[in-house]
Amino acid sequence: MSYREVSVIEIVEMLRLWLQGLGLREVARLSGTDRKTVRRYVDRARACGLDRDGGDGQLTDELIAAVIAGCARTGRPARVWHGKPSPPSMTRSRRGSKTGSR
């Protein structure tokens, strides 16, 4: 599974679709994101005061910023190679040359 950053436009679109009454699975399918990702953003938006009956006018810049700040990950996942950390041939030594290559 790969890591993909979600753009602000995609977040707004997910929330807009959810406000229209679509379920999480349908929002995920239409937005091309994982259902759990949609749930994370919707849950955070609801915690920030988003109400399903309030309409699209609730999607202010302040709300979106609060949602993004609440859902932000601290860093990218570690690079994984067949379930293990990167092999030595793919890591760099202190001097910048590849370890294991001559």
Full DSSP string of 6-62: PPHHHHHHHHHHHHTT--HHHHHHHHTS-HHHHHHHHHHHHHTT--TTS-GGG--HH
In the predicted model, what is the mean pLDDT of residues 38-45?
95
Provide the pLDDT for residue 74: 62
Provide the pLDDT for residue 65: 93
Amino acid identity of residue 45, one-letter, is A
Cα(57)–Cα(59) distance, rounded to whole angstroms?
A: 5
Are the C-beta atoms of 26 and 54 separated by less than 8 Å? no
In the predicted model, what is the mean pLDDT of residues 65-85?
69
Which residue, 27, 54, 47, is CA-closest to 38? Answer: 27
The pTM of the whole model exceeds 0.85: no
Residue 92's beta-bridge partner residues? 98
CA dihedral 89, 90, 92, 93 (to 10 degrees): -20
Provide the pLDDT for residue 5: 87
Provide the pLDDT for residue 12: 94
Q: What are phi and psi of 85, to 5 degrees?
A: -60, 165
